[in-house]
Structure formats: structure tokens, C-alpha cells
Amino acid sequence: MLDRLPREGTPADTLENLNLQRIETNLREIGSMMTAIGSQEAAIGDVEAVADQRGLSLRRVIASDYSYIVPQFRKDATEGALVMGRHRGSSIPNRPIAGAVVQISYQNPWYRIFWPHDKFPAFDPFQVVLSDQNGAYTVGGLPDEDSTPKPVAFAAYFTPRGDLKEVSDMPSRNAIFTRVNMIRARSGHYMMSPRFWPDAANVFDAVGNANLGSDGSERANVATLDGVVAFHVEDKVDHIKIFGEKSAIGLGNDEVDPDTGVVLNPLGDGFPITTNWGGLQPSYQGAGDLWRINESRLALLRTKDILNSSLEEMHGRVQDLYEASLASTQSLHGESLAASAMLGAQPVYENVRAMMDDLVSAVLVLLALCIPFAFALERLLIGSTMIYKQMSWFSLFFILTFMILYYTHPAFAVAQTPIIIFLGFAVVVLSSLV
């Protein structure tokens, strides 16, 4: 009912341009549904029409567990579900947006495919409404607020030219009964390499690596649907990264030292939001980025004499596949080699990361053992009878033990921020004391 005709409201919207054949077809379909209405044959004959079904208009067949969103006026102010944006320079969404398109889905679309395959043909389980001049919108027939699954919303506001200007943020997905907050955004999309069962990808701010697609993010709207990572990020974000080891990878970590060949930034510098996303090759990009981050971590482990022959062999095979894909002159052959390299790099990434996590867990255990070790050293070597000297010598021995671990244990070398390890240990100790 909300679909506009191609010529509606234009000078071509005249009587002679009516499609009488289509109108006749529609009337015939309506007549077949409403047949026998008001006739006595319906009371004695077989009832076949939809509108003739017995009990159709009885109150007991009208579902009462549906919610309706209807705006109201109170003290010259609109109350209800609103679409609100931000003024320039303000972080508070208090500007009503008129003419925003709000899509309300009855359930959260599955990220692997937009709608399940068993849905009815030509039936899309969502509604599309427009906000009025006060930013309010009216919609009905929604599941009750306490029901599951809960409906989700996505709103967009377009310029008169049809360009996307504002979109709703992530927390507004589940706030359709109250308000939908909008952000000024720039959009992009990133295709996944072919996979049978992909996971949802994450979009990060290249500066600080903040997850823009988290449920509480008010800086973007991110969704993975039908093999495409679609993202709308606020204007302040200039560069983004895309990462999901089992979906899509785009880090932009291809900058290497020309003398040594070492990757300068394994985590990547990201891509400008103005990138021609359709021109990127996801298989090549993902295989190269994932191989380079694996190589940087394995090289760090090699310097600490931590070797795993099976991982090294598989990592080398991934390198061979990736180099062969770059050297291939046939696009389809090269794409298949790059996709194979990306699939082969995924278990390497997972196992290398598990090794590094195990190192950090091991050093936390060693730090916990440093406490009784320092106390035992103080009793064995010093044996002071004064509590202040006992505490002083205990602190000295603990600091010495910690410094030895800091300079010898590989966990502090593989961690991006080694101080986090000590802070985590301190939190555990203080929590146990409480």
C-alpha cells in the first residue's frame, strides 16, 4: 500500500494513462475473494471465499496480543515513537526528522541470509512507514512488547536527490516503541568471499579499533546480510577496518618495510570511508591481510623459540596459495586460489591466537605464585621480626620476581599492552582479598 506508482503526482498522471487491464485484473481478484458476500447462497452453500469464512469477524478470532504505536499530543508536544536527529555540533538527539523511512521487521533478519528460505513467496515480514512533520510514526500489528522474537527497526533519511543522509544507530534497533535516534552517516559495503556458512563481520574504527557495530554503538549501523557487510558510520569516522576470521577481512596491512620486508602495522591502517568498495577484491584482500597478521605473530613467537611445526607448514602452504593467486593470469583461477588461501589461513589464525592467550594465562598463574614465593624468600633469607621490614622485603622480592618474568617470559612480548597483564593480576588479587 505504500508503494508509489511511477507516474503518481506527475504531469503524466492522467486518465488516458490508466492501465485498465491491470485494474480489471485486480477487481477480478478482489471479487474472487469477496464473492458471495451479502448473498444468501453463502449461508447454505459451500464457503470458499476468504471473506466468507465463518467466524472471520468475531471478536474471538481477532488477535489481542498485538501492539500499536500511535503518537499523541500532550501539552502541545508529541508523545510516542519518534525519529530524532542531532543538530550540528550537538551530541543529543533532540531534532525531529520529518519524512524518514522506518522499516520495522517482525524479527531480526538472519545475518547469513536476509530471510529464511521457508518464508511465504511475495510476503516480506516487515512494514515501511514514514515519519510525519513532528518526527512521529504510526504502525500497528506488531508483536507484543514482551513477546519473542522482538521486532527491530532501521530508519533512513534521504535528500531530495535520493542520497542517504542520516540512518538510525545500533541501540535504536530495539527501541521502536520509544524513539529512533539518527546519525549523519556515510555508507559503504564490503562483499564476502564465497562461503557456505559465513559469520557476521565486525566493523572497527581504524583509530582506536573501536567496534562500531556493537549493540551499544551510537556511531554507526552495521549489518551482515546475504554475504554483504553493509555499514553506515558517522561523519567523524574517516577510516574503518572490517574483520571476521570466518566472514570478511579488510585490514589494509599491506605496508611493509622496503629493507626488511617486515609488516609495519599488522593490525592495519584501514580504508577510507570514501573507498570504491565495489572495486576491492575480498578474496585477495582477506587472504593477504590474514596471512600478514599471522606472519607477524608467528615471527614474534619464533624470536622467543616458540615453534609449532604443523602451524608453520600450514602457514607456508597458505603463502604458496596466495602468491600463486597473485601470479595467476586467469581471474576465476586466481580468485579460487585466493579464497583457498583465506580459508587455509583461518585455522592458523585461531591456533596462533590460542597459543598467545595460553601464554598470557600462564604468566597470570606465575604472577599469582610470585606472592607465596616472595614471602618464602623473605622468611628464608631475611627472617625479620618487624612487620614493616617483613612487608618491605616481601615487596622487594616480589618486584624482583616480577621484573625477571617481565624480561624473560614471552607473554609480555606478545601482548600489545603488557601493563594490562599486571593490571589484570592486580584486579584478581584485590578481588580475592575482598
pTM of the model: 0.74
Max CA pair span of the chain: 109
The 3-state DSSP class for residue 202 equals strand
Cα 403 to Cα 72: distance, rounded to the nearest angstrom: 66
Cα 419 to Cα 417: distance, rounded to the nearest angstrom: 6
Amino acid letter for position 36: A
- pLDDT at residue number 250: 92
- pLDDT at residue number 58: 58
Cα 267 to Cα 254: distance, rounded to the nearest angstrom: 10
Q: Which segments within 268-366 are labelled E, that is strand?
A: 271-272
* Series of mean pLDDT values for 10-residue runs along the chain (434 residues): 48 74 82 57 52 58 69 82 86 88 82 57 77 88 76 92 92 90 93 74 91 91 86 93 89 84 86 90 92 92 88 94 93 91 93 90 86 89 87 90 87 78 78 73
Cα 371 to Cα 134: distance, rounded to the nearest angstrom: 64
- pLDDT at residue number 130: 92
DSSP string covering 101-122:
EEEEESSPPPSSSSS-TTSPTT
Cα 148 to Cα 139: distance, rounded to the nearest angstrom: 18
Question: pLDDT (tens digit, 9 = 90+) per residue, 417-429?
Answer: 777 787 877 887 7
- pLDDT at residue number 35: 58
Residue count (the chain): 434
> Rounded to the nearest 5°, which phi and psi values hold at 127?
-120, 150
Residue for grid cell 631475611: 382
Cα 43 to Cα 369: distance, rounded to the nearest angstrom: 87
- Look at residues 150, 140, 153, 145 and name the one whose alpha carbon lies nearest to residue 100: 153
Amino acid letter for position 232: H
